[in-house]
Amino acid sequence: MTEKPRTGHEVIQDYLRTLDGSPGVYRMLNATSEVLYVGKARNLKARVSNYARPSGHSGRIARMIHETASMMFLTTRTELEALLLEQNLIKQLKPRYNVLLRDDKSFPNILISAEHPFPQIKKHRGKKSEKGAYFGPFASAGAVNRTLNQLQKVFLLRNCSDSMFESRTRPCLQYQIKRCSAPCVEKISQQGYATLVADATRFLEGKTTSVQADLARAMAQASEAMEFERAAALRDRIKALTQVQQTQGINPANVAEADVVALHLDHGQACVQVFFIRANQSWGNRDFYPKTGAGAEEPEIMEAFLTQFYDDKDPPRLILLSHPVENPDLVAEALAIRAGRKVELAIPQRGEKAELLENAARNARESLARRMAESTTQNKLLTGLAEAFDLDASPQRIEVYDNSHIQGTNAVGGMIVAGAEGFLKSQYRKYNIKSEAGANSDDFGMMKEVLTRRFERLLKEDPERKSDMWPDLLLIDGGAGQVSAVAGIMSELGVDDIAMIGVAKGIDRDAGKEEFHRPGTRPFALQRNDPVLYFIQRLRDEAHRWAIGAHRAKRAKAVSLTPLDDIPGIGATRKRALLQHFGSAKAVARAGLADLQAVSGISDATAKTIADFFSAKA
């Protein structure tokens, strides 16, 4: 008979003999070597001795200790190094008892480029590799787009690409509707455009008063000179500028740059609201719902949120907090290293900063209440789904698959994911169909390719099925044939224990008359007014929307492709130079070697490569 592995505080106590007072990181593992918790310590021996006590722990810590069968340790030179290593391991391992930030997308910025005589203003997301002035972060793409829309009315900066700029021979629609000064066709001088860029930069830096004063002064001068059309244009720009300031929402007078971070915790669920204040303007807010590690308290949640949130983002000079963190000096030092300057953490008690926090805290409280209400409804639907289809338990992760193509062209497979928290859009995936199934309009073949790629990767990354990336239910758009084919594919992959449901259109392909198919059972239907039916329809429609969107994006990209894209060594810059010189890809194909060598940026070797490419195709 196999002896049950030892667990609990006695196991932890055995490690004390080998530890000293060094700083470092520790991992607690269960009997199957799953990492339960990753923690840091200024003094490893002192921290582990706390866990070795048989009593005096919170319910969460007691459960974690009871499951612990072994520990791992890594010493560091400083506690700061331990903090940074801890957060990397948490991000990599996602332990059950740690606080986890599940949404770590980057935030968009506004970029005024600096690599062109007439700089472009545009939305930018990701690494700041392009030269120019960056302003942000903004809470969402919508917030950036609204601000850009208004800024174009005020400052008339171009938003077109450099290639479009170079190819213009007359003003585009943006000029006609007074949202661009048309530098592409010299409707404004380089000096005049530089003035507009300087005004836009001052506004985004928060110097709105001086910008308004300059515009008002210019309008008065134009009026006195009886240049009424110019005065009217300046008046419109002032009105647009006022509208920008109104749409910014709360604009603090005495807080130039800060992130306002408010946490609300209720029954083990947390919401963190972050408001972005830059240049004395509110640039939007975003709510986050970190996993609370089975019952962590506010200081631990706040510390984990800050270190994970700013892991790949530049923190501002001031971060206003609704709750203290466990190690404020250590966190501030870590953030200062990330920013390359001092970062202050503050919990204001009065004044404008306290009002900003109160507003953020109210938003966190209301957002969490809405989410908990939605979660209750979603859990009822998942329970109803399990009952309707005789599943072993309510599915926590549903994956829905669909394909999209037009007569076999630009074939794309789509996967969406839903669970107790609704649609998990960060986990949606699209698959460009690589096999002949796409060209042959073979829906079975396309589905086989998508599922094979999906589950072969999952088996490689998580063969023990320890993560939450494994689905409990597959929803397939199709009837008995599709379900039978999918069952065969899953059996070949060795994952035939995942429940699946096929959704067929039913009689007259009418919504509400869907038939449902499961392997080895007769097809059946649900009542028209059954909430579970509406839920499945929403899942199917979302998968259809996602697949069609991916197909359209691929088709749009294909429209802009030319034979030049297939030539080795021809990138975007050389392609643009060739098209500007010859006018079309067809003209490039007909050009002689000498003509190709005459193009700016095309070397003799590259010209020969181009000529050889087209002569081989002739």
Under 8 Å between Cβ of 282 and 275? yes
pLDDT band at 1 (very low <50, low <70, confident <90, very high): very low
User: Hunting for tokens 């404020």 — which residue is that?
Assistant: 328
What's the CA gap between 38 and 88, in Å, rounded?
A: 10
Q: For residue 244, is pLDDT > 60?
A: no
**pLDDT tier at 568, thresholds 50, 70, 90:** confident
The predicted pLDDT at position 507 comes to 61
Burial-class residue 304 by CB neighbours within 10 Å (0-12, 13-18, 19+): buried
CATH class of the 257-369 domain in this structure = alpha beta
Res. 557: pLDDT tops 70? no
CB atoms near residue 231 (< 10 Å): 18
What pLDDT shows up at residue 482?
A: 86
Of 233-237, 250-254, 411-415, highest mean pLDDT: 411-415
Domain with CATH 3.30.420.340 in the chain: 257-369, 397-558
With contact defined as beta carbons under 8 Å apart, do 184 and 158 qualify? Answer: yes
In what helix (H) or strand (E) does residue 458 lie, and over which residues does it extend? helix 443-461
577 or 82, higher pLDDT: 82
* Yes or no: domain 397-558 corresponds to CATH 3.30.420.340: yes
Enumerate the β-bridge partners of residue 27.
38, 72
* pLDDT at residue number 190: 92
Say whether pLDDT at 231 is over 60: yes
Least confident of 234-238, 322-326, 513-517: 234-238
**Residue 464 — very low, low, confident or very high, per pLDDT cuts 50/70/90?**
confident
Here the contacts of 245-249 (C-beta below 8 Å, separation 24 or greater) are 245/208, 245/281, 247/146, 247/147, 247/150, 248/147, 248/281, 248/282, 248/283, 249/282, 249/284
From 535, 538, 543, 537, select the one nearest 513 (Cα to Cα).
Answer: 537
Q: What is the mean pLDDT of residues 254-269?
A: 91
What class is the 563-617 domain? Answer: mainly alpha
Domain with CATH 3.40.1440.10 in the chain: 9-97
pLDDT, tens digit, 9 for 90 and up, residues 282-314: 888 899 999 988 788 999 999 999 999 998 888
pLDDT at 318 over 80: yes
Q: Is pLDDT of 47 > 90?
A: yes
Q: What is the dihedral sign for C-alpha 547, 548, 549, 550? A: positive
| Cα(400)–Cα(402) distance, integer angstroms | 7
89-146 pLDDT per residue, tens: 998 888 999 999 876 677 899 999 988 899 999 999 888 888 999 988 888 888 888 8
Q: List where CATH 1.10.150.20 sits in the chain.
A: 563-617
The highest-level CATH class for domain 9-97 is alpha beta
Average pLDDT over the chain, rounded to whole? 86
**8 A C-beta contact, residue 474 and residue 498:** yes
